[in-house]
Amino acid sequence: MILDQHIHLVGIGGAGLSAIATLLLEKGHIVSGSDICESESLANLRDMGAVVYIGHEASNVRDADLVLASSAIDTDNPELLEAREKNIQMIKRQDLIGDLMADKIGCAVAGSHGKTTTTALISFCLLECGLDPTFIVGGTLKNNRMNARYGRGEPFVVEADEYAKMFLGLRPQVSIINSMDFDHPDCYDDQLELENTYWEFVKLIPFDGQLIVNQDDERAKRIGDKARELGISVVTYAIHNDADWRAKNIQIKNGIGCRFLLVNNDDQICQNIDTQLVGDHNVMNILASIAAIDFYGIDLQQVIDPLRRFAGVKRRFEIKGVEEGVVVVDDYAHHPTAIRSTLKAARMQFPDRKLWVVFQPHTYSRVNEFKLEIADSFEEADQVIITDIYGSRETNDSLTSSLQIVELMHHPNVTHMSSYDEIVKYLLSELVSGDIVITLNAGDGYMVGDQLLSMLSDKSNFSDRHFGLLSNIGKTLKSNEIMGKYTSSRIGGVADFFVQVNTIDDLVEVVSYCWQSDIPVLVLGSGSNVLFSDSGFRGLVVHNMAKQIVFDESDSSIVVRVSSGTMLAALARTCINRGYGGLEWAVSVPGTVGGALFGNAGAHGADMSDNIVLADILQRGKGIKTWTIDDLGLDYRFSKLQEIDEDFVILEAQFELERVAVDILRLRANEFVAHRKNTQPPGATIGSMFKNPPGNHAGRLIEDAGLKGFRIGQAEISKVHANFFVNLGEATAMDVFGLIEHADNVVEEKFGVKLDLEIKLIGEWFGLGINK
């Protein structure tokens, strides 16, 4: 194509054509296009310089040199009719992409399932490794919000769509076939025709190229064997069969994603792989990507970090949000194989959760062909809702309906609903905290999830009831308060409600009221040693500012009673100035007395157990109880309070101290403060991240693992002390959580030591129940 040509795209807002339009604009072409309604992709294209029309009119194609239409556009579209009337050249999508690939080293990713994720992952890794690739993806990468780019480098990665034999116009050097299930019955008569078309696709590979095939897919394996006979270089990947690249020991992570052991064909250990992607099918996508990246000559070690950071593609197991403890996920699955794979992954990721599935069948021809297989695809779901069919490019044949799927299903809990409003209303009446809702669709079924999240977050449903109850406590109540304002790390999402208390009586009153009213409540001290999730806390956060200190002095003893909201360092300084020794080790320790007692905080060879005598604890259903030192069972960063199953709040603590000269205490304190300044980082940190393992130090292990300065997003493992994680400015909780998992995994891999968290995780962590 000649640069500066005017190319008009009919259906420009779709996933395929919007990607092509992006690439053409970046390459320097004049681009216009039309679609039936506004969308985010159209807004983005306008920002890039495209002229976009809403609605299809003959006048839209004026001055165009080439016209390209989406496969969803009818042949009698007025813009296509006008192009024929004006003798404007009409080009097919595959021919245009083939021309663009001509001077590049092309990678074409084909197969019934996994094309989009695999294409996106290869593109992301090549981009992160500095190869400046061109790519076209049938979805939007979450990491950079791109679905296409024009690069100056040699690689050109493209999603090779088998629909209407589009991929036969491509010019790849390396091709991937990840699966060959029968699909698109509106353009293929049977499996044989589909496989013959794939063989034509394979024959596009030049003599110095390569074919990468899924060895666990029998049809793909067969076509790979056939390609070898033709002299084509074939590389294989698998989970279950022998292959050049294999995954073993697949494990689900605490956060979203999994990890596995990558081995080569000699069964030699290559590398542990961490990923945010979910399910065996995505492990296969990663293996295919690794094989393709290897083709481009990139060392495996270079892609370990991009593989871990790749956040996936929109509409592919995309967690849309968490509201009131309900997790809403959207996925593109609409073929029976994809439905089963997605739900299997969901069940592995959420093993103990109730799984609600809202499935929108896609196209009448596909339902007519696969209705029995679709009906048998929901074994992993607890509840299934089937919507009406999304026709897409097809018109209703009046013979095929989603009710036919429902009638064939043996699932005990399945229902059909036509109206999205009806579905959302039903879900709102049935869902409880902890449930998972997955919308499966290639159409607009995702709107159910969007509407559901909006309704769940609406204060008129759940939170208004709490607001009315909480207003009765007579304190200054705030709603939607950002927790990052109250934590030492400056990280944390929004709490539904927030109140500050200044006395122990107020603390008892507020917490007791919440318990009686079944309102979730969390007592927060100084905000150190805690990490709030990005989604915040669903309920009331009580900021404990009760800071009363009362000394009881006699000739034989010095006793101090302290409210739990008192800063430990402030208590230590007060005691030092009075000549009372025993707590000077705490002069530079962050946190409150309550938090320090819960975790038996310590420093410089001392801890809370050295001086504490008693503690008053408010226990749900039991009132205020006094715990002795034996009851507390203090040990290294441990108290028996950590083992209580019921709700409780620490109210007061009592310490016994000794008389020591003020000058001596101040000298000790100054040494401790200087030591902290020299060994611990300034700025926004949580505190010590991990407990020290027996006979070792967590910071030393993390440092010896080479992780000082390692970053995820705006969170960094401190260059000063590796057991401190620093917020460089705009870190998210998930950035920090990623560092936690990475440090834990690397230390265990290198030294065989499993690190235990010293901090407390609070709130919803993608609905995974991580409320430690």
Domain 96-309 has CATH 3.40.50.2030: no
494-504 pLDDT tens trace: 898 899 999 99
342 touches 458 (CB < 8 A): no
CATH number at 549-660: 3.30.465.10
239 touches 247 (CB < 8 A): yes
Alpha-carbon dihedral 8, 12, 17, 22, rounded to 10 degrees: 80
Which backbone phi and psi does 734 adopt, to 5 degrees? Answer: -70, -30
479-529 pLDDT tens trace: 889 999 999 999 999 898 899 999 999 999 999 999 988 888 999 999 998
Is the alpha carbon torsion for 332, 337, 340, 346 positive or negative? negative
Q: Give the Cα separation of 112 and 80 in Å (integer).
A: 30
Q: Give the Cα separation of 627 and 643 in Å (integer).
A: 14
Q: Pick the more confident residue, 28 or 629.
A: 629
pLDDT score of 767 more than 60: no
Q: For residue 462, what pLDDT band results from cuts at 50, 70 and 90?
A: very low
**Residue 72: predicted pLDDT:** 78
Residue 430 token pair = 């049935």
Residues of the chain with CATH 3.90.190.20: 318-457
150 touches 317 (CB < 8 A): no
Residue 255 token pair = 């956060």
Statement: the pTM of the whole predicted model exceeds 0.85: no
Residues of the chain with CATH 3.40.50.720: 6-91
- Percentage of the residues of the chain whose pLDDT score is greater than 90: 71
CB atoms within 10 A of CB 726: 25
Residue 322 three-state SS: strand
CATH number at 318-457: 3.90.190.20
Alpha-carbon dihedral 83, 86, 89, 90, rounded to 10 degrees: 20
CATH number at 685-762: 3.90.78.10
Task: Write the DSSP symbol of residue 394.
Answer: S
Task: Write the DSSP symbol of residue 545.
Answer: -
Q: Give the Cα separation of 643 and 635 in Å (integer).
A: 13
Q: Which amino acid type is present at position 209?
A: G
Task: Write the DSSP symbol of residue 650.
Answer: E
Minimal CA–CA distance to 15: which of 118, 119, 116?
A: 116
Q: Give the Cα separation of 393 and 75 in Å (integer).
A: 12
Q: For residue 323, what pLDDT band results from cuts at 50, 70 and 90?
A: confident
What value does the mean pLDDT of the chain take?
91
Q: For residue 243, what pLDDT band results from cuts at 50, 70 and 90?
A: very high
Q: How far is CA 369 from CA 111, 164, 182, 365, in A?
A: 19, 17, 10, 6
Residues of the chain with CATH 3.30.465.10: 549-660
Crossing angle between the packed helical segments 463-470 and 504-516, to the nearest 10 degrees: 140
Q: For residue 460, what pLDDT band results from cuts at 50, 70 and 90?
A: very low
Q: How far is CA 771 from CA 600, 667, 764, in A?
A: 20, 41, 7
Q: Give the Cα separation of 659 and 175 in Å (integer).
A: 79
The runs of H, that is alpha helices, within 409-503 are 420-430, 446-457, 463-470
pLDDT score of 626 more than 80: yes
Q: Give the Cα separation of 120 and 100 in Å (integer).
A: 18
436 touches 350 (CB < 8 A): yes
CATH topology of domain 463-544: 3.30.43
Q: For residue 463, what pLDDT band results from cuts at 50, 70 and 90?
A: low
CATH number at 6-91: 3.40.50.720
Minimal CA–CA distance to 614: which of 625, 603, 601, 602?
A: 625
* 535-558 burial code (b ≥16 CB/10 A, e <16): bbbbbbbbbbbbbeeeeeeeeeeb
**Residue 666: predicted pLDDT:** 94
Among 245-259, 469-483, 716-730, name the one with the lowest average pLDDT: 469-483
**Residue 196: predicted pLDDT:** 94
pLDDT score of 145 more than 70: yes
pLDDT score of 359 more than 70: yes
pLDDT score of 734 more than 60: yes
290-319 pLDDT tens trace: 999 999 999 999 999 999 999 999 989 999
Minimal CA–CA distance to 572: which of 560, 563, 585?
A: 585
591 touches 598 (CB < 8 A): no
Q: Give the Cα separation of 16 and 410 in Å (integer).
A: 37
Q: Which amino acid type is present at position 517?
A: S
Helix (H), strand (E) at residue 122: helix 115-128
558-582 pLDDT tens trace: 999 999 999 999 999 999 999 999 9
What region does 670 belong to: left with phi over 0, alpha with psi -120 to 50, or beta? alpha
Q: Give the Cα separation of 613 and 359 in Å (integer).
A: 60
pLDDT score of 399 more than 90: no
Q: Rounded mean pLDDT of 752-758?
A: 94
The runs of H, that is alpha helices, within 271-402 are 280-295, 300-309, 336-349, 364-375
Is the alpha carbon torsion for 313, 316, 321, 327 positive or negative? negative
Tell me the pairing of strands 210-214 and 174-177.
Answer: parallel
Burial class (CB in 10 A: 0-12, 13-18, 19+), 660: middle
Q: For residue 116, what pLDDT band results from cuts at 50, 70 and 90?
A: very high
679-715 pLDDT tens trace: 888 888 988 999 999 999 999 999 999 999 999 889 9
Residue with tokens 């320097």: 28
